[in-house]
């Protein structure tokens, strides 16, 4: 038996190519069964996220299996000759090394992100439920879960915020502590402000107001986040009610000035106001940072903090790679098992892993 992984990711293909190969969850069962039905294919797992599509397969003959799978992708996705070249191939021990790196967050667009761990589990769970896995892929994926946990617990690869949005959320928690009583206002319905607001809501922020020059767009975004749309001319009146203001408009100059914020702060009776200005050009006059209890961060300040978080994670790469190599030394790949206690099937551990699933974005 031979094992291999055929796939593409954010490193090998741009988004306009990757988006063509996303396999929706409702079509995953059919795709698994189609791959499993290919001659000589005994096991299959498909990992499909916004940043990768990978097929892990166990076949009688590696050369024939790779050819059959390439032909399947050719017919299923109507591959061009250029697109065929974007797929990478990992074989035998390199499959384990690659999957261990994926599960550990070392192969992600955001280094050390934890969401992909849940995605790997979910992909395995889907294949396991469809009975397209057996001894080889069961062992490989269960082992990858252990490696992912070991890397995250044994290093600082997940520590520190690495994106503008995550930095903003962390800063909000430092200012307010518990976000459950915080109200958020978005001015401008850009994608980055939307993502930041959704992150704040996921951390417990209680409600959201949306204001945009196009009121229809504000209504649409407010509906998406179960919030309230307010007209663009009325955003100033909402400031006394909100705790976190995210602004990202296409205005050619600043329009949030000291006088407007000072007036609102008198009504807030000392409650802090956190202002996140991620617009370029800036929406907010930097002088508002001199107002008591106002905390202003622009895109450069947030990016500086995020860059430091990325540097800290990058320093952990060699430690993570070392832990993965130690795990590979214990992996008896020809037998499809690991050494020691992991040579035996452990249904209890597998079920425990399968319960720990989380929807996410690699």
Question: Which residues, at least 6 apart from 243, have a Cβ–Cβ distance to it below 8 Å?
Answer: 176, 181, 182, 183, 184, 271, 272, 273, 274
pLDDT digits (tens, 9 = 90+) for 52-97: 999 999 999 889 999 999 989 888 888 777 787 889 999 999 999 9
The reported pLDDT for the residue numbered 43 is: 97
Cα distances (Å, whole numbers) of residue 359 to 21, 116, 332: 19, 9, 31
Whether the model clears a pTM of 0.75, i.e. scores above it, the answer is no
Fold classified for 2-157+316-335: Beta Polymerase; domain 2 (3.30.460)
Question: Which residues, at least 6 apart from 246, have a Cβ–Cβ distance to it below 8 Å?
Answer: 168, 184, 185, 186, 187, 193, 196, 197, 276, 278
Does the annotation count 182 as an active-site position? no
Give ∠ CA 49-24-136 in degrees, rounded to 5: 65
Q: Which residues of the chain have pLDDT under 70?
A: 332-362
**For the chain, what are the domain ranges?**
2-157+316-335, 164-309
- Rounded to an integer, what distance in angstroms lies between the CA atom of residue 289 and that of residue 297? 9
Q: What's the CATH superfamily of 164-309?
A: NAD(P)-binding Rossmann-like Domain (3.40.50.720)
Task: Please indicate whether the domains covering 2-157+316-335 and 164-309 agree at the CATH topology level.
Answer: no
What H or E segment, with its residue span, contains residue 195?
helix 191-202
The reported pLDDT for the residue numbered 347 is: 38
- Rounded to an integer, what distance in angstroms lies between the CA atom of residue 28 and that of residue 192? 30
Give which of 37, 32, 148, 157 is closest to 100, Cα–Cα.
148
pLDDT digits (tens, 9 = 90+) for 299-351: 889 988 888 888 888 899 999 999 999 999 877 654 444 443 333 344 344 44
In what order do the strands lie in the sheet containing 41-48? 41-48, 52-59, 2-9, 88-91
* Cis-peptide into 297, omega within 30 deg: no
The reported pLDDT for the residue numbered 338 is: 45
The reported pLDDT for the residue numbered 362 is: 63
């Amino acid at each position: 038996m031979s094992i291999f992984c055929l796939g593409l990711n954010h490193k090998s293909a741009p988004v306009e190519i990757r988006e063509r190969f996303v396999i929706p969850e409702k079509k995953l069962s059919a795709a698994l069964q189609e791959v499993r039905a290919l001659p000589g294919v005994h096991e299959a797992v498909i990992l499909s996220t916004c940043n990768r599509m990978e097929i892990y397969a166990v076949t009688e003959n590696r050369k024939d299996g790779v050819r059959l799978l390439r032909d399947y992708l050719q017919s299923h996705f109507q591959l061009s000759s250029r697109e065929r070249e974007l797929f990478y191939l990992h074989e035998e021990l390199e499959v384990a090394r690659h999957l261990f790196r994926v599960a550990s967050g070392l192969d992600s667009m955001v280094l050390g992100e934890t969401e992909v761990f849940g995605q790997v589990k979910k992909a395995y769970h889907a294949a396991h439920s469809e009975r397209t896995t057996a001894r080889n892929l069961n062992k490989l994926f269960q082992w990858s879960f252990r490696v992912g946990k070991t890397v995250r617990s044994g290093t600082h690869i997940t520590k520190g915020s690495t994106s503008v949005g995550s930095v903003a959320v962390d800063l909000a928690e430092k200012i307010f502590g518990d976000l459950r009583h915080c109200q958020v206002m978005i001015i401008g319905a850009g994608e980055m402000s939307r993502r930041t607001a959704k992150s704040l809501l996921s951390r417990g922020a209680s409600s959201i107001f949306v204001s945009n020059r196009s009121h229809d767009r504000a209504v649409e975004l407010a509906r998406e986040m179960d919030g309230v749309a307010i007209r663009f001319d009325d955003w100033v009146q909402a400031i006394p009610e909100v705790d976190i203001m995210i602004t990202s408009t296409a205005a050619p100059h600043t329009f949030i000035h000291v006088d407007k914020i000072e007036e609102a702060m008198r009504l807030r009776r000392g409650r802090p106001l956190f202002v996140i200005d991620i617009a370029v050009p800036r929406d907010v006059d930097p002088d508002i940072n001199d107002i008591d209890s106002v905390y202003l961060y622009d895109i450069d300040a947030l990016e500086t903090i995020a860059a430091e978080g990325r540097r800290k994670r990058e320093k952990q790469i060699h430690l993570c790679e070392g832990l993965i190599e130690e795990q590979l030394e214990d992996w008896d790949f020809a037998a499809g098992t690991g050494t020691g206690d992991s040579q035996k099937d452990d249904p209890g551990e597998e079920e425990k892993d399968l319960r720990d699933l989380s929807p996410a974005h690699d």
